[in-house]
Amino acid sequence: MLEVKNLVKTFGDFKALDNVSFEIPDGKILGLIGQNGAGKTTTFRLILDFLSADSGTVLWNGHKISGKDYNTIGYLPEERGLYPKVSIQDQLIYFAELRGKTKKEIEPKIDEWMEKFKVKGKKTDKVKSLSKGNQQKVQLIATLIHEPKLVILDEPFSGLDPVNAELLKDGILELKAKGSCVIFSSHNMDNVEKICDHLVMLKNGKMVLDGKVHEIRERFGRTKLFLESSLTAEDVLAVEGVKSAIKRDDGVLEATLTDPKAGEEIFARATQFGYIPMFNQQPPTLEEIFKMKAGAPNE
């Protein structure tokens, strides 16, 4: 288990982190979100002891992280770093050896990991011959091939197309299934929503969201409504508690509510003549909540 308790970090007069706390049990995934400069990378560097906190503690399985723990940690920094003139195979072996593994242990696993992430190229190819996306996948393999128990990924989905992002998600979920503790940052709320057990959002170094994704969404109320019926946008706007309503090109009417109870009146009007193909009332999406919190004053 990773425990982060009351972290505070300042750089001169700038407070990068202000009393940040969270826990990640083994076999769970935490998503850390926030705008650029919110404090995500600083949090990672404090966890890894690359920086010293002004106050607060980081505990891994009940003790402070030290040099002996680094062999069980996988870290993917936001700024990638590979040796372009070194082959994939030699590079992966080198990074694994830095984590206490032997060439004998790692060499047989390279083909398996390249297949898992669909790396296009041979393991004897030099990194500079690969596309940017495949280079990124090699970097991910270097982070994960020693099967770390604590995995820290700073913007791992950056630059990946949807197919390769799905491969990465599968890889993260596989680590979770094996009991690893995973924390990652991302600006893609869809990825966060699909794979996270817990979510923390930072704004100007402060925590402004903390909880399970579905619980966070429910806190904002079921204010998004999707409807297929004979009602027009004007009909829906006439209901008290409706902020906006538009009819999309696919025929679905999308409404935003100021009062979730307005959904009951809309449902009654839409079904007064019987069956309707769709009525779906949901909380705001995580992306919508992110935009709300990013633009609101700190709480």
Please report, for the chain, the start and end positions of each structural domain, with discontinuous segments joined by +: 2-217, 221-282
> In CATH, what class is 2-217?
alpha beta
* Residue 267 pLDDT: 97
Contact 30, 24 (CB under 8 A): yes
Tell me, yes or no, if the two domains 2-217 and 221-282 fold the same way: no
Number of neighbouring beta carbons within 10 Å of residue 144: 22
pLDDT at 213 exceeding the cut of 60: yes
DSSP H or E stretch at residue 20: strand 14-24
Position 298 confidence tier, pLDDT thresholds 50, 70, 90: low
DSSP per residue, 19-67: EEEEEE-TT-EEEEE-STTSSHHHHHHHHTTSS--SEEEEEETTEE--G
Q: What percent of the chain has pLDDT over 90?
A: 70
What does the alpha-carbon distance between residue 33 and residue 40 come to, in Å, rounded to a whole number?
7
For residue 22, which amino acid is it?
A: F
pLDDT at 3 exceeding the cut of 60: yes
Torsion from C-alpha of 21, 13, 75, 24, nearest 10 degrees: 0
Contact 47, 31 (CB under 8 A): no
Average pLDDT (88-113) is 91
CATH, domain range 221-282: 3.30.70
Contacts of 29 (CB under 8 A, 6+ apart): 172, 173, 176, 182, 183, 184, 195, 196, 197, 198
Q: How far is CA 128 from CA 77, 78, 87, 161, in A?
A: 19, 19, 9, 20
Q: How far is CA 111 from CA 50, 114, 116, 120, 121, in A?
A: 32, 5, 9, 12, 11
Of 138-147, 219-228, 266-275, minimum mean pLDDT range? 138-147
Q: How much is the pTM?
A: 0.85
SS3 state of residue 250: coil
pLDDT at 153 exceeding the cut of 60: yes
Of 20-34, 65-79, 85-99, 271-285, minimum mean pLDDT range? 65-79
Contact 146, 115 (CB under 8 A): no
Contact 55, 19 (CB under 8 A): no
Residue-wise pLDDT tens digits, 183-205: 999 888 888 888 999 999 999 99
What size, in residues, is the chain?
299
* Residue 163 pLDDT: 87
